[in-house]
Structure formats: C-alpha cells, structure tokens
Chains A and B, each alone.
Chain A
Amino acid sequence: MASPSMRWIDDGCNVDGGNPGLTREKLFVLVVADDALVRKVHEKLVSKLKVAKQVQTQTAANRKEALDLHLSGSSFDIILMDMQMPIMDGPEATKELRAMGVESMIVGVTSVDATADKEAIVEAGLDECLAKPLTAEKIKYLVETLERNK
C-alpha cells in the first residue's frame, strides 16, 4: 500500500488577530486526485490558507488509498475529490466512502465544461461541486459552509 503524504502545518504563531473568521481550531483536508500535479497544487493551496489555527492535509492518488485511509481510522473535515480521474472514478469513490459511513464534506472538483456531472455528483452523495481551478476563495467558502453547518 502506497503511503500517502501527510503535512502538518501549524499556523498558530501566525494567526491573524484581526481576522474575525478564524474561529476553527483545526481543519483536516484530504485531497484525492490521480494527477500528481493536481495533488501538489491543491494540497499547497489548502495548507497555505489561514482558515484554521492548524491545517493538516493528506493526499490520496486513487480510490483505494482514500478508502484505506478511512479504514485505518483517519477522518477529515473536507475531502476534495477530483472528478476527472480516468482510472479512479470520483463518484464511485464517493459512494463507497458514504457507504462506509463517512460523513465528511465531500467536494467534487471538476472542469468547467463538466456540468453534466452534476447529477452524478448529487447521486453519489457529494456535498458540493467546484470547478477548476481551485482558488483560495473557493476553499474559504467551503470552510465557511462547514462552520455554518456545525
């Protein structure tokens, strides 16, 4: 089993005292994408955001790695699921995670021209669908939604 990469970013000492939105203590995010470039960019994007005092990211390159992480006891606040993986089927992976009882926010990340995927997305049990490219604003929106639904 390939070992997923894990990064622990402690932003505690850099907390922006003037940011009223920074109420979260911790944020755990899983980035699932088979393309190493996409994994790298999305993971970095999330880990740099000061949306919580501590942000921890992990990556998974395929459905199996994502499921294995959960089976081994990991849990996440947000799962960013790339929907464009040719080998790994994003909607299928989501269905399997939901069947396992995973209640995390699962966000499908797809291309702008893939609006037809929206039905598959809802059917699979995804909470949100975002178009690439992912931006700081889009991730912040997810965290805000997470806070609102707490």
Chain B
Amino acid sequence: MDVAQLKRQLFEYTTLLFHEGFLDEQFTQLQQLQDENNPDFVVEVVSLFFDDSERLLNELATALDQQNIDFNKVDAHVHQLKGSSSSIGAQRVQRVCIAFRNSCQDKNVEGCLKCLQEVKHEYSLIKNKLEILFNLEKQILAAGGSPPV
C-alpha cells in the first residue's frame, strides 16, 4: 500500500474512532502538542495511560474481592482512572468511570462489579484501537511519509 492510501486509511480510522465516541477532542489536543521536538509524544502519553489503567484495574479487582469492601478505596481508584482516561480523550472509559463512581457512592456491590466488567471491556477496546492507529502511523513513516496531525 502506498503512503497516500495508508494516510487515507489512518484518516478514516481516526474519524471512525471519534464518531463512535471512543476518542474525544482531548485526543486531538494531544496530537496538536506533538512536534518535531517530541515526535513520540502521543505514543508516550498513551503508554502512560495503558500502564496507569492496567495497574488501577488490578487494584480495583483486588479491592472488590474483599470480604468488607472499602468503597472509598474503590472510589479513589476509579477517580484516578477517570482522570487519566479524560486526559487522553478515552471518552467511553471515562463515561463508565462516572457510572462506577455512582455505584461506589451508593455502596452498591453488584453495580460496582458490573462497572468493573464494563470498564475492563471499554479499556481493552480502546487499547486495541489505539494500537491499530499507532501501527498505521508506523507504516506511514516506514513508507516514507509523515503522519497527518
């Protein structure tokens, strides 16, 4: 595939992610912060998001597995996950976090467990989609082009 085709594919894929609500304008903001001084800025920030999220999801699973659930602890983890997801524009993850916090505040165990499953699902979706996006950008660079902002 030539550079022009790859770029078109990247553009269409990115547009789809925005259209389906996986990403919001905060992601665009990140892309605009990338420049020749920091050519990997978006990948670096998103990698931090992956690390943060994986750690928080593990901690949430542990916290919700306790005999006596500490809802404040659970809420604190969800609050952090909401913060990181909003920082990169991972809109659907952020939305589930909002519902998750409501369940914490209501001390609703079932609600929390359901939200945990949902947030894990949304996280794995956005992780997969961002990896595809970055892969397309790599292919464009390898083919001699520069990824569009």
Nearest A residue to B79 via CB reads A84
Given A44-B33, A84-B79, A132-B48 contact (CB < 8 Å):
no
Asked whether A48 lies within 8 Å of B35 as measured between CB atoms, the reply is yes
In the assembled complex, A69 has its CB within 8 A of some CB on chain B: no
Q: How far is the CB of B146 from chain A (nearest CB, A)?
A: 18
In the assembled complex, A41 has its CB within 8 A of some CB on chain B: yes
Contact-residue size bin, chain B (C-beta under 8 Å from the other chain): 20 to 34
Complex alpha-carbon distance, A36 and B86, angstroms: 14
Complex alpha-carbon distance, A38 and B83, angstroms: 8
Nearest A residue to B83 via CB reads A84
Complex alpha-carbon distance, A129 and B44, angstroms: 28
In the assembled complex, A45 has its CB within 8 A of some CB on chain B: yes
Q: How many residues of chain A get a CB closer than 8 Å to chain B's CBs?
A: 16
Asked whether A132 lies within 8 Å of B83 as measured between CB atoms, the reply is yes
Q: How far is the CB of A54 from chain B (nearest CB, A)?
A: 15
Asked whether A132 lies within 8 Å of B86 as measured between CB atoms, the reply is yes
Residues from 110 to 134 in B contacting A, C-beta threshold 8 Å? none
Interface set of B (CB-CB < 8 Å, partner A): 26, 29-30, 33, 35, 38, 41, 44-45, 48-49, 52, 76, 79-80, 82-84, 86-88
Q: List 12 A-B contacts (CB under 8 A).
A: A37-B45, A40-B45, A41-B30, A84-B79, A84-B83, A86-B76, A86-B79, A86-B80, A111-B82, A111-B83, A132-B83, A133-B26
Interface set of A (CB-CB < 8 Å, partner B): 35-38, 40-41, 44-45, 48, 84, 86, 111, 132-133, 135-136
